[in-house]
Amino acid sequence: MRALPTGGLTVLLAEDNPVNQTLTRALLEQLGHCVLTVADGSQALDLVKQQKVDVLLLDVMMPAMDGLSALKALRRSEKHTGAHLPVLMLTGQALDGDQERFIALGANGCVSKPVNRDKLEQAIKQLRLTAL
């Protein structure tokens, strides 16, 4: 896995709810990150092909293509390229075992909604530690 930059990251936020999108974007920007937003998993996959991003925040439940389907498709495509984009899943229904299930599917971590600034910052710091 490649090392993440030490400064602000380029974060792709895939979230369909406009309120959650605005809140999460604001939190990420407060943490010094550049944020790109899309409304579903297929848009996220398209953007990842076109632009370099450091981290993907992927909502589990979205229309058109949900986060888990997008995660599976991303990891399948990476097998051909050798790349590995760090992914944090966003979920409003954090149940026991969800984080483990998401990691088994290829995610690097999970953040519960409503998104808390400190938990989001900690999850990104953890990505940086595990990406080195």
Q: What is the CATH number of the domain that holds 72?
A: 3.40.50.2300
Token match 């409503």: residue? Answer: 114
Tokens describing residue 81: 């390229």
Q: Give residue 88's domain range.
A: 10-131
Instruction: List all residues 6 or more positions away from 70 whose beta carbon is below 8 Å from its beta carbon.
Output: 14, 40, 41, 42, 44, 45, 58
Question: For 8, how many CA atoms within 13 A lie in the half-sphere containing its CB?
Answer: 12
What are the tens digits of pLDDT across the range 111-122?
999 999 999 999
Tokens describing residue 35: 């944020």
pLDDT of residue 2: 56
Q: Is residue 53 part of a domain?
A: yes
Q: Which amino acid is at 24?
A: T
Q: Is residue 105 part of a domain?
A: yes
Q: Is residue 20 part of a domain?
A: yes
Q: Is residue 3 part of a domain?
A: no
pTM (2 d.p.)? 0.92
